[in-house]
Amino acid sequence: MKNLGILLVIVSFLISCDSGNNKRVLSGANGRINNLLIVMKNSEWQGEIGDELRKFIAEPVLGLPQPEAQFEVSQVPLESFGSMFKASRSILNIGIADKNSFTIATDVYASPQKIITITGENKEELIKEIQKNSSVIVSEFKKSDLRAIRKKILKEYWKPSTIETFKKQGFTLKIPKNYSKVEDNGNFVWYRYHLFGGNSMELISYTVPITSDDDENGNNIVAIRDTMGKKYIPGELEGSYMTTEEAYTPHIFEVKLDGKKAFETRGKWEIKGVFMAGPFLSYTVVDKPNNRLVVVEGFTYAPSINKRDYMFELEAILKTLKIN
């Protein structure tokens, strides 16, 4: 009987996902982005299975000044998984059952919602399933949250046709209407969202020609960034400007954006000569047909407070990039 509960949950998930054309009206999912509800036995959460989950669920987000886990986690046993918890945005079901399995379901009890269920025949098999699927687990929940936050913040956005740099350079980005223009000169665009207490979220974008293999292979990302920062992003004091923090080597990964080869860069910025700093996230897209790099970047200034969710929102915006 101990396996019956989780098996019934799995069956109900699969039935919900394959219920034919009879569409149900779902309530709105609750919970903030980057929050994860884990449904599993307390004893398993506190033991080796929980330890295996925490290895990647609680992994720090790259590029932030202070360590912040990529998910805020709540855990409940299956018997406490009532209607309030069922409306959570992101749910991870873990347990021992009659077979090893890994399933993903969407909009089961609420919308938008992502539910992942993992079972193993015993503790050892369950841990193997978790290890095998760890990257998929993170990716699925992150993609779901990105879609949810994009839907929320992009209900109103500046028409790209009204932004001179986008018109001239032939690419677009959906910038929410609550961001205000700082600069738009046809070659460089900069928008800002004012947070409380002088804090802010910033979006910038520009293009540079490809002049070498190093440009195309992502080896000059920091040098290009520092050149543009000196040219376009001044500090409060005369002669000060934005640069990449020298004491922190950025993390660079090859990715795809708008179907093209791109480089994701996560690091820290600082203002040369001024005590100001924070995290940045940029995407450098290799636009071969036009022999150029298209760069979109988000950074935030929010000292003494957590910045993970701000950077996540900027990521959602940056990934709307479209190159004509």
Question: For 117-129, how does the pLDDT look when each residue is reduced to its tens digit (9 = 90+)?
Answer: 999 999 999 999 9
Choose the weakest-confidence range: 8-17, 30-39, 66-75, 251-260: 8-17
| Mean pLDDT value across residues 24-28 | 81
Confidence of residue 304 (pLDDT cuts 50, 70, 90): confident
Higher pLDDT pick, 320 / 19: 320
Instruction: Assess whether 163 and 80 both reside in one domain.
Output: no
The domain in which residue 230 lies consists of: 157-323
With a cut of 90, say whether residue 21 has pLDDT above it. Answer: no
Choose the weakest-confidence range: 19-28, 77-86, 143-152: 19-28
- Asked if residues 125 and 101 have their Cβ atoms less than 8 Å apart, the reply is no
Dump pLDDT digits (tens) for 53-76: 999 999 999 999 999 999 999 999
What six digits make up the tokens of 165? 């740099």
Domain end position, chosen among 131, 153, 175: 153
Looking at residue 29, the DSSP 8-state letter turns out to be P
What six digits make up the tokens of 168? 């001239």
CA of 17: how far to CAs of 34, 39, 89, 214, 223, in Å? 23, 19, 16, 47, 49
- Asked if residues 104 and 138 have their Cβ atoms less than 8 Å apart, the reply is no
% residues pLDDT > 90 (the chain): 85
With a cut of 60, say whether residue 258 has pLDDT above it. Answer: yes
Instruction: Assess whether 69 and 28 both reside in one domain.
Output: yes
With a cut of 50, say whether residue 133 has pLDDT above it. Answer: yes
Domain tally, the chain: 2
| Half-sphere exposure in the Cβ direction for 231 (13 Å, CA) | 13
Domain end position, chosen among 97, 132, 153: 153
Instruction: Assess whether 144 and 165 both reside in one domain.
Output: no
Instruction: Assess whether 98 and 185 both reside in one domain.
Output: no
Instruction: Assess whether 107 and 146 both reside in one domain.
Output: yes
Rg of the chain (C-alpha set): 22
Angle between helices 48-57 and 123-153 (to 10 degrees): 30
Instruction: Assess whether 141 and 209 both reside in one domain.
Output: no
If you average pLDDT over every residue of the chain, what do you get?
Answer: 92
Beta bridge partners of 271: 242
Domain end position, chosen among 153, 169, 202: 153
With a cut of 90, say whether residue 26 has pLDDT above it. Answer: no
Instruction: Assess whether 226 and 89 both reside in one domain.
Output: no
Angle between helices 123-153 and 308-318 (to 10 degrees): 70
Distance of CA 194 to the CA centre of its chain: 21
Q: How many CB atoms lie within 10 A of CB 176?
A: 20
Instruction: Assess whether 141 and 23 both reside in one domain.
Output: yes
| Half-sphere exposure in the Cβ direction for 246 (13 Å, CA) | 2
Instruction: Assess whether 297 and 229 both reside in one domain.
Output: yes
Q: Which of 81, 79, 40, 80 is nearest to 57 (CA)?
A: 40
CATH code at 240? 3.40.1000.10
| Mean pLDDT value across residues 282-299 | 98
